[in-house]
Amino acid sequence: MRRLMHALFGLLAASSTMPATAQLQWQSTGVQQVSHTAPAPRAASGKPAAKAPTVVRQASAVAPPAAANRPAPVRQAVAAMPPAPRSGSAPRVDASVQAACATCGCAGGCGCGGSYYEEPGCAVVDPSCAYGDPGCGCELGCGCGVEPGCGLTYGETCGCGDVGCGGTCGMGCGDGVCGDDCVPVVLCLPPIRELTLFAGVQAFKNPLDGPNRDRGNFGFTEGVNVGGSMSFLGVPGVGYQLGYRSTQNQLHGDDDLNTDSGHTQQFFTGGLFHRKPVGLQYGVVYDLLQDERQGSMDFGQLRGLISVTNPCGHEIGFQFASKMNENTVALGTAGTVTYHATNQYLFFYRKHGCQGGEVRFFGGFDDDSKGIVGFDASIPLTDRWSLATGFTYVIPEEDGAGIGAQEEAWNLGTSLVWHYGKRAKQSYSGQYRPLFDVADNGSLIIDDRP
């Protein structure tokens, strides 16, 4: 016990006489050498003299980050790396790869067990290193940037069987489910700026209902209409629109056709347009109707519009529709009749509301000297919902002996419209809102020609 006490006092005495010299400290950012001077003697006044400044010199080498601070892929990569080569043995690295490694600041040889895993900007690999070669450290996987041609960058991960990383573990990126003979295909879709869904009721009549019919069709309708930008064409302000409408009519059959089943229709609309809140706007779309009243028949038309809008929301313009095909139906001993879409020439006036919504009145004629009048409107109810309604009436050229009832055509409909993104009010000033409504029996009117 006495000897222990003497040893302790000896150590204390020795430490009290040691000068305050530089000490080495290990910090998270590297090794720093901190130099402190001995305490300054007190001045004659009794106040301590000014303390000499502390001098800090940054070490030339930076300590590697702690293992816990590394990204998960890096920790897995370092854990899977083979032991470092013994002193005096150099890693197997090509001269060109070594030069590239030096450029990105990766020491020890990129892709061959070096320290580039701790350098986020280093993505160089050894092209001579075969995938899965434990001697090169290439068994780490695509998530660590070791797989040549994989395309993944530092810090990205992929699991076994991920086809985006080469199919299965241990397989090269070109050895996935497609094989080396396949060519990847990238499908680019233009962005959607406006999307609406609608559903409602409608009634219509036209000569396709039959030569002896003077009654109309009633049913339901629903569909979708989308619009977006075509900026990738290099033409500023050009938009596209695509729409679909389905109708279900005569829900309880037809005695003239001796059926108790209703008939359906499908409308498709697609085209390009240029819309401006103030100024010139124009567009053209192709409309397709598949009708099942007298067997399945397809009707196509080209529809166009040009108009001018002033700053007060008043718009005047011209709209046309031109038939693209005809369908001939045999009537037995009575011969045949040919049906086609009506050629229309319409002038219109439209008023845009200050809080959204619009109302349009139009009138014109077709190529058979029949008059056409109509009205449509869209009124926002909330930020997400609006009400769309309208009618079209084709005035027959003759109205005697029941001929007028066979030649007339009309359409009446009302729908509730849902706007994606709560744009029921804002969409009316949108540059890429569809310029045309999806075709219906008021814009694609069927007429006959004996």
Does domain 188-447 match CATH 2.40.160.160? yes
Rounded Cα gap, residues 430 and 193, in angstroms: 9
Q: Which residues are 328's β-sheet partners?
A: 338
Rounded Cα gap, residues 134 and 170, in angstroms: 12
Instruction: Using the predicted structure, report yes or no on whether residue 261 has a pLDDT greater than 80.
Output: no
Cβ-count burial of 392 within 10 angstroms (0-12 exposed, 13-18 middle, 19+ buried)? buried
The C-alpha angle 200, 203, 209, rounded to 5 degrees, equals 140
**pLDDT at site 203:** 95
**pLDDT at site 258:** 63
Tokens of 339: 């049906």
Range with the largest mean pLDDT of 6-20, 50-64, 91-105, 352-366: 352-366
Matching residue, tokens 């450290």? 137
The C-alpha angle 234, 237, 243, rounded to 5 degrees, equals 105
SS3 sequence of 271-287: EEEECCCCEEEEEEEEE
**pLDDT at site 429:** 83
**pLDDT at site 134:** 46
Rounded Cα gap, residues 88 and 82, in angstroms: 17
Instruction: Using the predicted structure, report yes or no on whether residue 173 has a pLDDT greater than 90.
Output: no
Instruction: Using the predicted structure, report yes or no on whether residue 323 has a pLDDT greater than 90.
Output: yes
Mean pLDDT of 258-276: 88
Mean pLDDT of 345-371: 93
How big is the chain, counted in residues? 450
CB 265 within 8 A of CB 292: yes
Q: pLDDT (tens digit, 9 = 90+) per residue, 277-298?
A: 899 999 999 999 999 888 889 9
346 vs 398, residue with greater confidence: 346
Q: What percentage of the chain exceeds 90 in pLDDT?
A: 38
**pLDDT at site 13:** 52
Q: Which residues of 314-325 are buried (b: 16+ CB within 10 A; e: fewer)?
A: ebebebbbebee
| Domain residue ranges in the chain | 188-447
**pLDDT at site 226:** 96
Matching residue, tokens 């814009």? 443
pLDDT band at residue 273 using 50, 70 and 90 as cut-offs: very high
pLDDT band at residue 120 using 50, 70 and 90 as cut-offs: very low
71 vs 227, residue with greater confidence: 227
* pTM of the model as a whole: 0.60
Q: pLDDT (tens digit, 9 = 90+) per residue, 417-426?
A: 999 998 898 8
Q: pLDDT (tens digit, 9 = 90+) per residue, 229-241?
A: 988 777 778 999 9
Q: What percentage of the chain exceeds 70 in pLDDT?
A: 55
pLDDT band at residue 130 using 50, 70 and 90 as cut-offs: very low
Q: What is the mean pLDDT of the chain?
A: 72
Contacts of 18 (CB under 8 A, 6+ apart): none
Matching residue, tokens 């969409």? 427
Of the listed ranges 125-129, 253-257, 334-338, the least confidently predicted one is 125-129
pLDDT band at residue 410 using 50, 70 and 90 as cut-offs: very high
Of the listed ranges 109-113, 250-254, 332-336, the least confidently predicted one is 109-113
pLDDT band at residue 259 using 50, 70 and 90 as cut-offs: low
Instruction: Using the predicted structure, report yes or no on whether residue 312 has a pLDDT greater than 50.
Output: yes
Q: pLDDT (tens digit, 9 = 90+) per residue, 11-62?
A: 555 544 444 443 434 444 444 444 444 445 554 444 455 444 444 444 444 4
Instruction: Using the predicted structure, report yes or no on whether residue 351 has a pLDDT greater than 80.
Output: yes
Rounded Cα gap, residues 438 and 433, in angstroms: 12
Range with the largest mean pLDDT of 32-41, 124-133, 330-339: 330-339
pLDDT band at residue 89 using 50, 70 and 90 as cut-offs: very low
